[in-house]
């Protein structure tokens, strides 16, 4: 194996660190290679039309986009300003020149007032007589951030309380012919969090919640709000707590019957036959007879008539695919997918349909006892694979800013570096559909965390309701993707609390009384040992669930060399172990490890002025959220290289240092096969310009 030459790629943003770190294979990463022609066509096709039909316009169904002509204001202000939907308050304020760039120098500190404030968004839409003829007019918000009251023509129709789900309401009884007014009132997430914290009675561990930066003292409220944890800060990210309409808004009109969801569950798979069941969820306005059909192109795979009752219905239609082609990771074969279309017919016409690109494959996480403990590896289509890849965080603090081509570049780069797995980390969000579509297409497996990380969480009935709703929504949303290899309950909570060994953990449990400790652990078990595995088992049966990462099933937390489960090894970096520690601390599956580097000089210049060009300057420290970070890099640099005097050369040597460390880790893990069967370094990407563990700048 060799490193990839850096000098060839200096003109492509983000390639510099990536080229050095991706040492899984000897292939070159050609950053100048153009994306697929289909990406260009996709980008040209993404045009939002206000009140335009964006899907099939049959007599029984119509979809209208409501993403244009929005305005916003701070509650109490008289002036309404133009807003972008999908978007955030921060980016709308920036576009209207009301704030400076949050990522520039230390501007983040001056913007902490935004999440203490309430905001309003408004638009109007026209309803004609044809639209009023439909039985149901569903107003659908695919993503609201986070506590939001939605008013239609002055009547509150939705009170949203969870970032991670979609919201919809039948507004047929409230709409009127002509213009209809839509207004959204966003509550302050900080104030709502304080309210929930006070109701709980005491705070919970949440070390990455930068409440001091947010001018909230020790009131760490992130754990009480179902919203991305990284918005409240992390040891690689700023504290910028957003509000806004972060995914599209649409009006979906339909009559008689609607196919709400279809899950193509793979029952059995062999080289000659795939047996599947289409699990269809259908809502009907009246009792009626329909036919459910499943198509692959022009080939009819199954059809059956059903009697529907008024209201929700669940139908199961078995079907087969002869001589099936399997979905593989790109390094082992072709990630082949079938475009399957579920179609509802009635009265001799198509009522509506849903299409999913599915992959036929078997995925198991194999844990077989052996002389050293127990294995932990991914078996794809009966073949053990070494999981090569990285941990993935959101691409931006302001989620709607990430474009389709940025998603494509990230997954394209992952595949070109010969990675075959990404872990979607639990402090971000359940990624946009395009992320999983691209992983399916490029043959990248996904380790999917639920959105809990490095904190303890409450377990009151209202919190558990919100967790169940989000788990059900997202498992259903993602379960047709062949890339989903497993669901994991959380990031690092089990090892941080260390319930089964008093001397281990991060010192959290010792901060609480015996009664509080009992309650906190009971709440943990309610979410991660009961609720989440039940949801996965019921909605995506046969999919592996892992309670926490890292996790050692005997509960002993034996340390860096635990001979079972997965490991996060941070002896190098946090423990100041030398790079040789990577060879001495190898587990069965290395799901986290890493070493920091500075961004490239071009990136640093984008958020600094020349007076900031010192790794100990205030601005460089503000763009390094691990307090030990910049000096820790220099300390390791002193052990391996001569420390340059020039600032730009220090940045460069820091990248070389990171590359050397990660190369040694990957070699240690690969050479330990089959004892070790996974190596996912921390982390693939960044959410803002910062010194961090990221492999891509």
User: Catalytic residue numbers?
Assistant: 492
**Half-sphere exposure (CA, 13 Å, Cβ side) for 614?**
5
Report how far residue 510's alpha carbon sits from residue 527's, in angstroms, rounded to the nearest whole number: 22
Q: How many CB atoms lie within 10 A of CB 272?
A: 8
Report how far residue 683's alpha carbon sits from residue 428's, in angstroms, rounded to the nearest whole number: 13
Would you mind telling me the total number of residues written for the chain in this entry? 697
| Residue 494 and residue 547 in contact, taking contact as beta carbons nearer than 8 Å | yes
Report how far residue 339's alpha carbon sits from residue 648's, in angstroms, rounded to the nearest whole number: 50
Cα radius of gyration rounded to whole Å, the chain: 26
The DSSP bridge partners found for residue 300 are 295
Per-residue burial over 507-537, b if 16 or more Cβ lie within 10 Å, else e, is: ebbeebeeeebebbbebbebbbeebbbebbe
* Dihedral pair phi/psi, residue 10, rounded to 5°: -70, -15
Q: Which residues contact 536 (CB under 8 A, 6 or more apart)?
A: 471, 475, 487, 543, 545
What Å distances lie between residue 341 and 230, 299, 321, 334, CA to CA? 37, 10, 13, 22
Closest C-alpha among 296, 276, 383 to residue 332: 383
Cβ-count burial of 347 within 10 angstroms (0-12 exposed, 13-18 middle, 19+ buried)?
exposed
Residues 581, 583, 587: CA angle, nearest 5 degrees:
100
End-to-end Cα, the chain, rounded Å: 23
């Amino acid at each position: 194996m060799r490193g990839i030459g850096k000098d060839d790629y200096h003109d492509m943003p983000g390639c510099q660190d990536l080229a050095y770190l991706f040492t899984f294979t000897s292939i070159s990463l050609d950053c100048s290679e153009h994306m697929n022609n289909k990406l260009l066509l996709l980008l040209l096709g993404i045009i939002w039309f206000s009140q335009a039909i964006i899907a099939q316009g049959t007599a029984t169904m119509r979809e209208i986009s409501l993403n244009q002509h929005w305005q916003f204001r701070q509650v109490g202000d008289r002036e309404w300003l133009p807003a972008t939907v999908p978007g955030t308050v921060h980016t709308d304020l920036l576009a209207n020149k009301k704030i400076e760039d949050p990522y520039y120098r230390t501007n983040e500190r001056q913007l902490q007032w935004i999440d203490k404030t309430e905001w309003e968004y408004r638009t109007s839409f026209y309803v004609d007589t044809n639209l009023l003829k439909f039985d149901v007019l569903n107003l659908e918000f695919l993503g609201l951030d986070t506590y939001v009251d939605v008013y239609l023509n002055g009547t509150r129709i939705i009170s949203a309380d969870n970032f991670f789900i979609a919201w919809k309401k039948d507004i047929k009884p409230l709409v009127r012919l002509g213009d209809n007014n839509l207004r959204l009132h966003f509550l302050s997430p900080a104030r709502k969090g304080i309210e929930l914290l006070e109701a709980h009675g005491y705070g919970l561990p949440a070390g990455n919640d930068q409440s001091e930066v947010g001018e909230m003292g020790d009131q760490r409220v992130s754990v009480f709000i179902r919203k991305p944890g990284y918005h409240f800060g992390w040891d690689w990210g700023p504290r910028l707590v957003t509000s806004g309409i972060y995914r599209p808004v649409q009006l979906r009109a339909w009559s008689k019957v609607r196919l709400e969801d279809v899950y193509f569950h793979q029952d059995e798979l062999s080289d000659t036959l795939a047996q599947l069941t289409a699990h269809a969820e259908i809502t009907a306005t009246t009792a009626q007879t329909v036919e459910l059909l499943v198509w692959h192109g022009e080939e009819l795979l199954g059809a059956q008539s059903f009697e529907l009752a008024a209201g929700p219905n669940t139908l199961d239609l078995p079907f087969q695919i002869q001589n099936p082609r399997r979905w593989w990771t790109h390094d082992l074969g072709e990630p082949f997918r079938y475009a399957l279309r579920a179609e509802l017919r009635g009265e001799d016409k198509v009522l509506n349909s849903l299409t999913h690109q599915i992959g036929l494959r078997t995925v198991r996480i194999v844990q077989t006892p052996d002389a050293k403990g127990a294995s932990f590896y991914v078996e794809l289509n009966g073949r053990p694979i070494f999981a090569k890849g990285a941990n993935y965080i959101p691409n931006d603090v302001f989620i709607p800013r990430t474009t389709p081509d940025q998603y494509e570049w990230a997954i394209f780069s992952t595949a070109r570096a010969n990675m075959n797995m990404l872990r979607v980390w639990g402090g971000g969000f359940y990624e946009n559909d395009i992320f999983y579509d691209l992983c399916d297409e490029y043959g990248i497996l996904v380790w999917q965390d639920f959105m809990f990380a490095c904190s303890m969480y409450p377990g009151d009935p209202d919190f558990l309701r919100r967790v169940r709703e989000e788990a059900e929504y997202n498992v259903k949303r993602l379960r047709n993707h062949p890339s989903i290899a497993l669901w994991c309950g959380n990031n690092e909570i089990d090892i941080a609390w260390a319930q089964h060994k008093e001397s281990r953990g991060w010192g959290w449990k010792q901060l609480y009384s015996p009664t509080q400790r009992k309650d906190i652990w009971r709440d943990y078990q309610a979410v991660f040992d009961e609720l989440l595995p039940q949801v996965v088992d019921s909605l995506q049966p046969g999919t592996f669930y892992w309670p926490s990462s890292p996790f050692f099933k005997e509960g002993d937390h034996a340390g860096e060399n635990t001979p079972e489960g997965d490991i996060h090894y941070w002896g190098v970096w946090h423990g100041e172990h030398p790079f040789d520690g990577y060879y001495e601390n190898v587990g069965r599956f290395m799901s986290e490890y890493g070493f920091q580097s500075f961004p490239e000089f071009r990136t640093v210049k984008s958020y600094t002025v020349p007076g900031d060009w010192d790794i100990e300057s205030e601005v460089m420290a503000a763009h390094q959220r691990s307090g030990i970070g910049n000096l820790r890099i220099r300390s390791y640099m002193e052990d391996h290289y001569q420390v340059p005097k020039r600032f730009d050369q220090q940045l460069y040597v820091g990248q070389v240092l990171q590359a050397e460390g990660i190369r040694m880790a990957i070699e240690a893990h690969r050479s330990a096969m089959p004892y070790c069967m996974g190596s996912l370094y921390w982390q693939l990407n960044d959410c803002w310009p910062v010194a961090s563990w990221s492999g891509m700048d």
